[in-house]
Amino acid sequence: MRQYLNKVTTRESLSVEEMENAARVMFAEETTDTERGAFLTALKVKGESADEITGLVNVIREKSLTLPQKINNVMDNCGTGGDGSQSFNISTTSAFVIAGAGITVAKHGNRSISSKTGSADVLEHLGVSLSLTSEQTHEILKENGIAFLFAPNVHPAMKRMMRVRQDLKIPTIFNLIGPLTNPVELSTQLLGIYRRDMLERMAKVLDQLGRKRALIINGAGHMDEASLAGENHLVLLEDGELRKFTLTPEEVGLPTYDNEKIKGGDSKQNAEILHGVLRGEKGPYRDTVLMNAGLGIFANGKAETVQDGIALAKESIDSGAALLKLENLIDYSNQVKQGV
């Protein structure tokens, strides 16, 4: 660890290969928490490069539990969290809408870290199992077009980092990489991030990770989701090329709402919001999901424009297809619990 720590403390960035080696040392049992904490702090002070983020993600994914077989054209729409908005579970709700539009979604997520309710909390409340095996996850993903991958289940090696992260009490590189570590081989991705200065950097990471197409968002109010409160900043990655642009709700025919209008609550409240949106209830929650699901469909390439993506998102909800995806996931979870 010392050679990598010395380099980072002199504000030199590591290559992908160097970061992979450093990450393997960091996860090694004989490495002390003091060494881990020093390395993570030095990285934060220097500023994490695209190569360093890619290197760490590669090592986490090589230590992850994987599906028994590859499924083609899978996407995820996870955000980093950390925006402090206390919003309802936007990306989780949007995932079912995207799946209802005919796109396979491997929804990767965790319990609450910086928000009141994480994706795992709200889905567990709805009856979705968090403990499916790799084989069961593969089966439901193939049959239903959407499955949930609970991060602690698929990343057992991360347990070794929990204590040092809690002791440091500051955001580190690990607060940026959650959406990047999905163990499923993704073709496309919608990635929300709370740091606007990281948009292009994260696009470069997704390119290095092999995404054919991806959309990276920092919303109005610096949310890690698209917001209807004003101007959203985005970077589109397509075949290695990056395109920056901004988007307002007016440009895609959606109303404007202050971010206060989309605040959530505990897992019970957020489950009710999610279920209400999928049942077709109108209002700021639905409109926010339409924007985010529409962007997800556009990120996947199924829609040529964001407006077309939003139209497909509306159809997914209003036809009942999005709700059916959730109900199938709950039914499958119940069958697993009952040993059927």
Q: pLDDT tens digits, residue range 40-94?
A: 999 999 999 999 999 999 999 999 988 989 999 999 998 888 878 889 999 999 9
Residue 332: both structure tokens together: 């499958």
pLDDT score recorded for residue 162: 87
225 is in an annotated binding site: yes
Percent of the chain surpassing pLDDT 90: 87
82 is in an annotated binding site: yes
114 is in an annotated binding site: yes
- The CATH number of 74-331 is which of 3.40.1030.10, 1.10.3080.10, 3.30.300.160, 3.90.1150.10? 3.40.1030.10
Of 116-120, 189-193, 209-213, 290-294, minimum mean pLDDT range: 116-120
At 129, which amino acid appears? S
- Intervals of CATH 3.40.1030.10 along the chain: 74-331
Ramachandran sector of residue 170 (left: φ over 0; alpha: ψ -120 to 50; beta: rest): beta
Burial of 189 (0-12, 13-18, 19+ CB in 10 A): buried
Q: pLDDT tier at 159 (50, 70, 90 boundaries)?
A: confident
Work out the average pLDDT over 126-138: 95
Supply the mean pLDDT for the chain. 95
At 265, which amino acid appears? G
108 is in an annotated binding site: yes
pLDDT tens per residue across span 243-261: 999 999 999 999 999 999 9
pLDDT score recorded for residue 148: 97
187 is in an annotated binding site: no
282 is in an annotated binding site: no
Residues in the chain: 340
Cβ neighbours of residue 67 closer than 8 Å, sequence gap 6 or more: 134, 137, 138, 141, 183, 184
Residue with tokens 């695209």: 50
119 is in an annotated binding site: yes
- Intervals of CATH 1.20.970.10 along the chain: 1-63
224 is in an annotated binding site: yes
91 is in an annotated binding site: yes
Residue 298: both structure tokens together: 């556009």
Cα–Cα distance, 277 to 172 (Å, whole number): 34
227 is in an annotated binding site: no
Q: Which residue blocks in the chain are alpha helix, DSSP H? A: 2-9, 16-27, 33-46, 50-62, 90-100, 119-126, 134-144, 151-154, 159-168, 174-177, 199-208, 267-278, 284-300, 306-318, 321-337
55 is in an annotated binding site: no
165 is in an annotated binding site: yes
Task: Looking at the structure, give the CATH architecture of the domain made up of residues 1-63.
Answer: Up-down Bundle (1.20)
Three-state secondary-structure class, residue 192: strand
87 is in an annotated binding site: yes
Identify which of 32, 38, 103 has the alpha carbon closest to the alpha carbon of residue 71: 103
pLDDT score recorded for residue 114: 55
Most confident listed range (107-116, 161-170, 262-271): 262-271
Three-state secondary-structure class, residue 273: helix
pTM of the predicted protein model = 0.95
84 is in an annotated binding site: no
113 is in an annotated binding site: yes
129 is in an annotated binding site: no
- Judged against a pLDDT cut of 70, whether residue 113 lies above it is answered with no
115 is in an annotated binding site: yes
